Amino acid sequence: MTTAKSKRQNNFFSRNNRGPLGRLTSGFFSLPSVSPLEGFFLRLFFGLVVAYTLRFEVPFSAQPHPAGLARFFDLTWLSDPWAYSVFRGALYVLLMFYVGGLILPVALPLLALGHVLVFTLYNSQGYTHHGFQIVSLTLVAQAATVISYTALKGLRLQPPDERLNAWLLWQSQVIVAGTYLISVFSKMINTRGLWLWNSNYIAADLIKSRRQLYYGALDPKFDGNPAEAVWLLENPWIARALFGSGLILEAIAFLALANRKIGFLIGVALILMHRSIARLMGLRFDNNEMLCAIYLVGLPFLAAWCLERIANPAVRLGALIGGGLGVPLSYFAQPASVQSAMAPALYLLHLIKSLGVWHDGNMADFLRLTLPMWLTCLATAVAGALAGRLFAAVRNGYQFSNRSDG
Amino acid sequence: MPWYRLVLHTPLTTLAIFVAASLILKENYPFSHFPMYSSPTAPRAYYMVTDAEGRPLPISTITGVTPPKIGKMHWRKSQERESMARRTGKHDTAGRDEDVGREICTMLRQQAARRGQTLPQGIQLFRVEIQYDDGKIKETKQLLFAE
């Protein structure tokens, strides 16, 4: 029997709650709605980021300062070019299963483990890079979600249902927002709560970063003291306000879990924060930015929303399949110079590497390689949509004639 | 809904577990406590590599190892030796810097060779401290190791 108290409680934790605070808190307790199409785009976009992170070779034949799993296992076999090319090939195959949503209880844990192994060796050289944890951890969180879901609901090898898609989105958002919250705790612990007061000294870090960039490549554009750093050193209270606002943004990033609108605002703000850090200090966190765009800003939601405007499901599916087929087919639309320079498989890897435009902003190079792909995808998507329409018309005609005969 | 069911039906639970685990496990990939810029202090230091005459070398271009990586490596190796010295009671800062510097320079030569590049003979490793004092930016250079 439902009591008045439990009714009030259920109302409070429902997304239909009308009060602003109620709507905020209820978002933490009711699953977001994720359509199968959005689930697909979430996996596709994140899969591309994972493939992009695997573009590096592994030039480390030793692990002098083992971290994580390298404390227990020798991972230096990954530095062997042949072994690594086979290993990376296997990860790409698993990624294809992941994007398709197939055999996730098998593909995701293996993918997560493979990604962790590669970057564990990277981080076992005596210097820690903080750019890849967010990707590995998202894979680990998704793998744990799929395993828990399998334990509760039984083995499912076909694409995830709406509930699993929603949990995968939520737990990925936990990792993205959580990495910023961890950073806030570290700042507070290491300075015994005085981080805001001392934050003006970060202005000296701007000069330090500039020197490091200069002495790395002796590039004259990084010579001298950046004017903004000197100005912040001269105005410590403005520096505190500026760096303090970044800290507050990191601290409230977890509110993105409550609903999509807050997630969008926080995602955009975090990307702008990273861009301003890159501008001031030359420090790039491309993977963080891309994951903010996917899981907080909601680019997959937008892509799915656009495609869902096509009312006929057969036309929509035809356009999607056609557009997808356009990617490998675009090899034949490339100029002869590209076709002679690389085999089709290598061409696909180059397309993934072209995501580097996020880092260098070189749109001319990006479009030179990808424009034939976009045009091919557009043409094949239209062809797919027409085929879908034809299929739907034939099927409807067949059903109509069957009904008439009956 | 009872509180224990709410705990199972919210991502805030995994968020709390994730944050706590990361702060405890620290730098154990894939976990990290993300300590970048967590202890802002007045003097900030960077590292540079020069040839025997003290002319700076474009170390990332030659070896692929950036000055921040050299700094992190120097800090970590020094910390390891410091904790060992604390256990044995033998403190030798100059000897420590010499050993750490030699290891780093050997590693830089190996990485340069992997890229088909060569570092000149007699490279030197410097630590430079930046401090803003009396309206001026001061830099103090300290030689850590010379081949």
Element at A206 (helix H, strand E) = helix A202-217
Range of the domain at B119: 41-146
Task: Based on the fold, state whether residues B12 and B68 are members of the same structural domain.
Answer: no
- On whether both B30 and B69 belong to a single domain, the answer is no
Share of chain A residues as helix, strand and coil, in percent rounded to the nearest 5 = 80, 0, 20
> Would the CB atoms of A28 and B11 count as touching at under 8 Å?
yes
| Average of per-residue pLDDT across B27-31 | 92
Annotate B72-99 with DSSP letters as a single string: HHHHHHHHHHHHHHHHHT---HHHHHHH
Could you tell me if residue A10 is inside a domain? no
The amino acid occupying position A355 is L
B28 and B47 in one domain?
no
Mutate to test the interface with B, among A215, A218, A232 (most CBs of B within 10 A): A215
Same domain, B34 and B45: no
Closest CA to A139 of A50, A55, A227: A50
Same domain, yes or no: A321 and A293: no
Whether B48 and B112 map to the same domain: the answer is yes
Identify whether A3 is part of a domain. no
Could you say which residues of chain A have pLDDT below 50?
1
Question: Residue for token digits 């490549």?
Answer: A217
Outline where A354-362 has alpha helix (H): 357-360
Interface of A with B in 183-222 (CB under 8 A): 183, 185-187, 189-191, 195, 198-205, 207-208, 211-212, 215-218
Do B89 and B51 share a structural domain? Answer: yes
Whether residue B54 is found in the same domain as residue B84? yes
A253 and A336 housed in the same domain: no
Q: Name the domain boundary from A307, A336, A362.
A: A307
The answer for residues whose C-beta is within 8 angstroms of residue A87's C-beta and 6 or more apart is A78, A114, A118
From the list A119, A127, A186, the residue facing B35 with the nearest CB is A186
- Tell me the one-letter amino acid at B125: L
In a domain, A291, yes or no: yes
**Pairs of residues, one from chain A and one from chain B, whose beta carbons lie less than 8 Å apart:** 182
ipTM entry: 0.86
Q: For residue A4, tell me if it sits in a domain.
A: no
pLDDT band at B51 (very low <50, low <70, confident <90, very high): very high
The answer to whether the beta carbons of residues A123 and A179 sit under 8 Å apart is no
Q: How far is B74 from chain A (nearest CA, A)?
A: 8
pLDDT at B33: 93
pLDDT of residue A72: 93
Question: Which of A281, A307, A333 is a domain's end point?
Answer: A307
Q: Pairing between strand B44-50 and B136-146? A: unpaired
Which residues of chain B lie closer than 8 angstroms to A203, CB-CB?
Answer: 132
B35 to A33, A266, A321: CA distances (angstroms): 35, 22, 44
Looking at the fold, whether A339 and A288 belong to one and the same domain comes out as no
What does residue B132 show for φ and ψ, rounded to 5 degrees? -100, 115
From chain B residues 89-128, the ones with a CB under 8 A of any chain A CB are 111, 114, 128
Chain segment B53-71, per-residue pLDDT in tens: 999 999 999 999 999 999 9
**A242 in contact with B, Cβ within 8 Å:** no
Q: Which residues of B touch A126 (CB under 8 A)?
A: 72-73, 76-77
Q: A266, A288, A307 — which closes off a domain?
A: A307
With contacts defined as CB-CB under 8 Å, which chain B residues touch A76?
Answer: none
| Phi–psi pair at A31, nearest 5 degrees | -60, 140
| Residue in A90, A57, A256, A261 with CA at minimum distance from that of residue A173 | A256
Interatomic CA distance for residues A307 and B99, integer angstroms:
61
Chain A residues in contact with B35 by the CB 8 A cut-off are 186, 190
Instruction: Clarify whether residues A175 and A137 are in a common domain.
Output: yes
| Partners of residue B45 in chain A, C-beta under 8 Å | 208
Query: Based on the structure, what is the number of domains in chain B?
Result: 2
The answer to whether residues A283 and A385 belong to one domain is no
pLDDT in tens, B100-118: 999 999 999 998 998 889 9
Residue B31 DSSP label: B
Whether residue A218 is found in the same domain as residue A349? no
Candidates B74, B39, B78, B69; CA nearest to A131 is B69
Q: From edge to edge, which strands make up the β-sheet containing B44-50? A: B44-50, B124-133, B136-146
Does residue A389 share a domain with residue A241?
Answer: no
Q: Supply the pLDDT for residue B1.
A: 67
Q: Please give the radius of gyration of chain B, using alpha carbons only, rounded to the nearest integer.
A: 21
Interchain contact, B38 vs A125, CB within 8 Å: no
**Å from B40 to nearest chain A CA?**
6
Q: What is the pTM of this model?
A: 0.86
Both A381 and A258 in a single domain? Answer: no
Tokens 């900030």 -> residue: B44
Asked if residue B80 and residue B140 are part of one domain, the reply reads yes
Contacts of B68 in chain A (CB under 8 A): 127, 212
The tokens of B103 are what?
């290891």
Q: What angle do CA A262, A266, A270 make, to 5 degrees?
A: 170
For residues A179 and A267, membership in a common domain is answered with yes
Task: Indicate if A65 and A157 belong to the same structural domain.
Answer: yes
Instruction: Specify if A232 maps to a domain.
Output: yes
Provide the pLDDT for residue A262.
93
Q: What is the pLDDT of residue A7?
A: 59
Biggest distance spanned by C-alpha atoms of chain A? 88
A217·B61 Cβ contact <8 A:
yes
Q: Do residues A273 and A320 both lie within one domain?
A: no
Does the residue A180 lie in any domain?
A: yes
Put simply, the answer to whether A59 touches B40 (Cβ < 8 Å) is: no
Mutate one of B3, B8, B23, B32 to test the A interface: name it (highest A CB count within 10 A): B32
- Tell me whether residues A68 and B58 touch, CB distance under 8 A: no
Would you state the structure tokens that stand for residue A155, as one six-digit string? 């083995």
Q: Contact A65/B76 with Cβ under 8 angstroms?
A: yes
Is A128's Cβ below 8 Å from some Cβ in B? yes
Residue A350, in any domain of the structure: yes
| Whether residue B34 is found in the same domain as residue B50 | no
Whether residues A257 and B72 touch (CB distance < 8 A) is answered with no
pLDDT score, position A17: 59
Q: In Å, how far from its chain's centre is CA B56?
A: 19
Instruction: Tell me the residue range of the domain where A335 lies.
Output: 313-405
| Cα→Cα distances A282→A279, A360, A381, B60, Å | 6, 12, 40, 15
- Count of domains observed in chain A: 2
The minimum CA-CA distance between B91 and chain A, rounded to whole Å, is 22
Beta-bridge mates of residue B133: B136
Which residues 32-91 in chain B show a CB within 8 A of chain A?
32-46, 48-49, 56-61, 64, 66-73, 76-77
Task: Please state, as a whole number, how many other Cβ atoms lie within 10 Å of the Cβ of residue B54.
Answer: 12
Report CB contact under 8 Å: A233, B132.
yes
Looking at the structure, do residues B36 and B47 belong to the same domain, yes or no? no
The predicted structure's pLDDT at residue B39:
85
pLDDT above 90 for B126 = yes
Q: What is the mean pLDDT of chain B?
A: 88
**Chain A interface includes B19 (CB < 8 A):** yes
**Which residue, among A204, A65, A191, has the nearest Cα to A128 in the 3D structure?**
A65
DSSP for A55-118? Answer: TS----S--SS--GGGGTS--GGGGSHHHHHHHHHHHHHHHHHHHHT-SHHHHHHHHHHHHHHH
Q: Which residue has the tokens 């970048």?
A: B36
Omega of the bond leading into B56 within 30 degrees of 0 (cis): no
Separation of alpha carbons A9 and A6, rounded Å: 5
Contact B23 A195 (CB under 8 A): no
| Cα–Cα dist A293/A69, whole Å | 30
d(CA B63, CA A226) in angstroms, rounded, equals: 27
A225 φ, ψ (degrees, to nearest 5): -100, 130
